[in-house]
Amino acid sequence: MAGSSTYVLGQSDFEYRRLMMQASILRPWTDRFFRMAGVGTGMSVLDVGSGAGDVSLLAAEIVGPGGRVLGIERDRQGVELARRRTNQNACEDRVRFEQVDLDAFETDERFDALVGRYILLYQADASAAIRRLSKFLKPGGIVVFHEVDFTNTNSSWPPCAEWDLHYALLGEIFRKADSPPDFGRRLGNVFLDAGLRWPVLEAIGACGGGSGSYLYTWLATTLISLLPRLPELGVVQPAGVRIDANLSEWLRQSAVRDGSQILGPIQYGAWTRIAGEG
């Protein structure tokens, strides 16, 4: 994250495990957005806010042995974890990581694509971040970001009070932390304010229900990661909220009891090219 980041979830061991679990859920959508944007074989990619390395590793698969990926991340623990995972995946020849704030990053390298996932919503000025990082692209280079919106109302049907209550709390926490929970729907104007062309946009909704949905674990682990921050953010847990190790199972039982189809966050992809060839 950048030095001006509002990342609210922290850098605990639990959070990095949660991020890797979340990455397995998000992977198909991120892969789709990157490929539709034009990221492909042999390209060089700059991954910003690379965290535990999941997006960089995905990009490495897309660009193949002839490509290269640089992930930049300010958190030392995340960089060390990403490097270990790169070695485990035997792709250290084309993937490397650098520990640096986004607003301090400098390089003489020029890349074919600038990518990121769930990073712009944590920037104090997302357009300024894109504008600055785009200067590291080659003429005609690709800018593609995967962001999120979890403010959708009526998040279950038939209504499941337990799901709706905890899902709404997630949005409130992010608002209190100055991280817009509806950031995905702002992407078009963010690109324009960065001096880029209006991007191609795609939105895909996550939904589930029944006994096997990943959404229960996603919501529960995210709230558990946020729990230590609630007092400093001035967030009071509403009556009926229970954030503990049994939350995922409780949400599952509640949704199954009510026969509810539940909605999760909407995934947004946005991509364009900077001026020049390509």
pLDDT value of residue 153: 84
pLDDT value of residue 185: 95
In a domain, 3, yes or no: no
Residue 5's contacts (CB-CB under 8 Å, 6 or more residues apart) are 74, 102, 122, 123, 124
pLDDT value of residue 93: 92
pLDDT value of residue 17: 87
Task: List the CATH number of the domain containing 180.
Answer: 3.40.50.150
pLDDT value of residue 6: 53
pLDDT value of residue 126: 97
Q: What is the mean pLDDT of the chain?
A: 93
pLDDT value of residue 14: 83
In a domain, 45, yes or no: yes
pLDDT value of residue 182: 96
pLDDT value of residue 159: 96
pLDDT value of residue 277: 66
Q: Which residues of the chain have pLDDT under 70?
A: 1-11, 277-278
Q: 4: buried, middle or exposed (CB in 10 Å: 19+, 13-18, 0-12)?
A: middle
- Structural domain harbouring 228: 13-273
d(CA 3, CA 118): 16
pLDDT value of residue 5: 47
In a domain, 20, yes or no: yes
How many domains, the chain? 1
In a domain, 8, yes or no: no
pLDDT value of residue 15: 83
Residues 157 and 260 sit within 8 Å (Cβ to Cβ): yes
